């Protein structure tokens, strides 16, 4: 997919060049999902989840599946559900499901943790490319878009070809557009500094312990925040995790 022209109005030249590079742009086609012709609302919300599927997450596989279902169900129960579209992908590049209406997302049972490394930065950039590209495609049809993206990991990056500076540049551009929220959930370790260095705002960082209860509570907090985003036209009014 050639995304240069789509992103020109929203991102800096440096971010556009990075996100449209081979190896990033080529990975997002499968995530695009629903056609803009099938969107019937004047406003849309894109909810995106990027989840670590390295082997260290194996003990939390079911908790993560359950957590994503909590997010989906919470959004599907809102009055805005017709205009809410959700997508989830993993660090290994697998699209668990492409952008589709939250009411149509199938049972999330295909998440498996088996990756031998943790490409946190590379996959954050690929996910950012998917979010901003889908946003531009929808906006080109005259439909307004707000987005909220959650990055979930339990390990530090150990295999990316890009660094935090590249990630921060792109996330900062997204936040400056005032239509995107990017959140981080760092499980079992203090990831606050990692996420801050990636450009994620402190108010949008969760650091649950590595227990099922802590992770469930973190997903509940994200689902509540995603619902707030869906209910306000001013994305800044969504605040953060409370």
Vertex 67, ends 172 and 169: CA angle to 5°?
Answer: 10
Q: Beta-strand (E) ranges in the chain? A: 43-51, 84-90, 95-101, 144-153, 180-186, 205-206
CATH code at 4-30+54-233: 3.40.50.410
User: What is the predicted pLDDT for the residue at 222?
Assistant: 98
- Give 236's pLDDT tier (boundaries 50, 70, 90): confident
pLDDT tens, residue by residue, 129-145: 999 999 999 999 999 99
* SS3 annotation, 133-180: HHHHHHHCCCCEEEEEEEEEECCCCCCCCCCHHHHHHHHHHHHHCCCE
pLDDT tens, residue by residue, 212-233: 999 999 999 999 999 999 999 8
Q: Mean pLDDT across the stretch 234-238?
A: 86
Arithmetic mean of pLDDT over the chain = 95
The answer, yes or no, to whether residue 1 has pLDDT greater than 80, is no
pLDDT tens, residue by residue, 148-194: 999 999 999 999 999 999 999 999 999 999 999 999 999 998 899 99
Strand, coil or helix: 118: coil
* Domain boundaries along the sequence of the chain: 4-30+54-233
pLDDT tens, residue by residue, 53-97: 999 999 999 999 999 999 999 999 999 999 999 999 999 999 999
Phi, psi of 109 (to 5 degrees): -125, 10
């Amino acid at each position: 997919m050639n995304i240069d022209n789509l992103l020109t109005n929203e991102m800096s030249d440096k971010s556009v060049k990075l996100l449209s590079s081979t190896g990033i742009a080529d990975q997002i086609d499968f995530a695009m999902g629903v056609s803009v012709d099938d969107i019937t609302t004047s406003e849309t919300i894109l909810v995106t989840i990027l989840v670590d599927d390295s082997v260290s997450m194996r003990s939390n596989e079911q908790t993560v599946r359950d957590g994503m279902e909590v997010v989906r169900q919470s959004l599907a129960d809102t009055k805005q559900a017709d205009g809410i579209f959700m997508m989830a992908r993993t660090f290994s590049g697998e699209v668990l499901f492409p952008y589709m209406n939250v009411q149509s997302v199938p049972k999330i049972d295909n998440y498996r943790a088996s990756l031998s490394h943790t490409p946190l930065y590379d996959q954050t950039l690929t996910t950012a490319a998917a979010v901003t590209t889908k946003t531009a495609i929808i906006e080109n049809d005259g439909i307004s878009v707000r987005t909220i993206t959650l990055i979930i990991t339990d390990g530090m990056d150990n295999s990316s070809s890009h660094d935090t500076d590249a990630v921060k540049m792109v996330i900062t551009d997204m936040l400056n557009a005032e239509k995107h929220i990017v959140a981080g959930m760092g499980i079992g370790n203090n990831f606050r500094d990692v996420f801050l260095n990636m450009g994620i705002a402190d108010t949008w960082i969760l650091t649950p312990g590595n227990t099922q209860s802590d992770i469930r509570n973190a997903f509940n907090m994200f689902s509540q925040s995603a619902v707030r985003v869906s209910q306000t036209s001013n994305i800044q009014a969504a605040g953060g995790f409370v």
